[in-house]
Structure 1
């Protein structure tokens, strides 16, 4: 059975992709930050910092972080934006947010970053209510990517930006081959050894199999209504930062 069919069967067993993803990330919340560092060979903080700079909130503005998880991207946005900026972080997995809340209290950022349970495909915010929206490694977990980008467009004010950081498909043949060997073979092994979480870290690479390449993500964003859409490969295409602007 192919990886795609295998995942589809698992989604059916749990009532759909969203419940499956929620349960999966709930199980690995305690090791999520460590695994991000290991699987990215330490590049994860750099990637988030680059994404945060593209969002570039100005003084007094409020941003939205979808799939906020343990709040690392929200923290990076606060550190790389103007003073008195605030973030709302939403995630469907309470266990991830609990880890994030503890982190924010340790760092004294609980007054600038508000974490709440929320769904990226049905955002519980009014139209035009935030100055920008971002996500890190979230879009590929959505049931309907187009709906997710449409919802982001709805809640961002005119002229505001969306910035999405995602694992990508490296375009070079040699580098791409090495990437797939690492991502599909070694990453699940890391998860098994360190967290006894083979299924979870087998899902993560296989979720990329059906995720569109960066040029197609650009098209989906444009179809949702975003303008001036661009993408930027980092580290040879290991990840891509997708950026769009809501028309005035």
Structure 2
């Protein structure tokens, strides 16, 4: 049985990919931030800052963070923007949002970032209601990626951007081999030792197996209606930031 077949079987057992992902992230919510720091060797904060810069919200604007989790990307956006900038963070996992709310209170950002349960494939917001949309490590968890990008396009105002930060497929042969060794073998081991969460940290790398490479994801975004779509590799292609604009 291939890994992907095994994953698909697990999705079927619980009624689909969405409920599987929701339960999985609910179980690791308490260790999610710690594991991000450890597994990325601290680079995940830098990646989010870069993504926030590409979103480029102006003072007084409101952005949407999909798959907001514990709110790290929303925090990076408001910290890098003017004092009147606000974020709405949506996630399907209440446990992750609870962790995020505690963090926002500690940082005094609860008035600038609103976290709510929400689904990126069916966004509970009106058309043209936010100035920009972003996500970090969320798109590969969608059951229907094109539908997610169509929904993002619907809620963003004309002229606004979408910015998606994702684990990618490093294009270089030697570096790519090292990355796969680390991501597929060592990451699940870290998850087992630190969080007693082998299944969760086995899913995360294997979710990348069928995830489109950066050029293919660019095409999906364009087919969904996004204009001027570009992607930027960071750290040798470990991650990529995908940026698109809604035509005016």
How does the TM-score come out when normalised to structure 1? 1.00
Matches within 5 A, 1:97-112: 97-112=97-112
Checking the alignment, whether the CA contact within 8 Å between 1:58 and 1:83 is kept in structure 2 is no
Residue 81 of structure 1, CA deviation: 1.4
Q: How does 1:49-198 map to 2 (within 5 A)?
A: 49-198=49-198
Cross-structure match for 1:36: 36
Residues 219-248 of structure 1, C-alpha deviation per residue, up to 9 Å, x if partnerless?
Answer: 000000000000000000000000000000
- Paired residue for 1:210? 210
Partner of 1:219: 219
Flag structure 1 segments of 5+ consecutive residues without an equivalent. none
Whether 1:237 and 2:241 are equivalent positions in the alignment is no
Shift of 1:163: 0.1
- Aligned twin of 1:200: 200
Cα distance in 2 between the residues matched to 1:195 and 1:169: 26
Alignment deviations for residues 192-222 of structure 1 (CA, whole Å, 9 cap, x no partner): 0001000000000000001000000000000
* CA distance, structure 2, for counterparts of residue 59 and residue 36 of structure 1: 29
Preserved CA contact (<8 Å) 1:233 1:240? yes
SS at 1:64 equivalent: strand
Aligned length: 248
Does residue 208 of structure 2 align to residue 246 of structure 1?
Answer: no
| Structure 1 residue 131 displacement after superposition | 0.1
Q: Provide the C-alpha distance between the structure 1 equivalents of 2:234 and 2:216, rounded to a whole number of angstroms.
A: 17
SS in 2 for 1:75: helix
Partner of 2:20: 20
- Give the deviation of 1:83 after TM superposition: 2.3
Alpha-carbon RMSD: 0.3
- Secondary structure of the residue aligned to 1:20 is helix
Aligned mates of 1:77, 1:174 — CA distance in 2: 34
C-alpha distance in 2 between matches for 1:103 and 1:44: 17
Question: Secondary structure of the residue that 1:166 maps to in structure 2?
Answer: strand
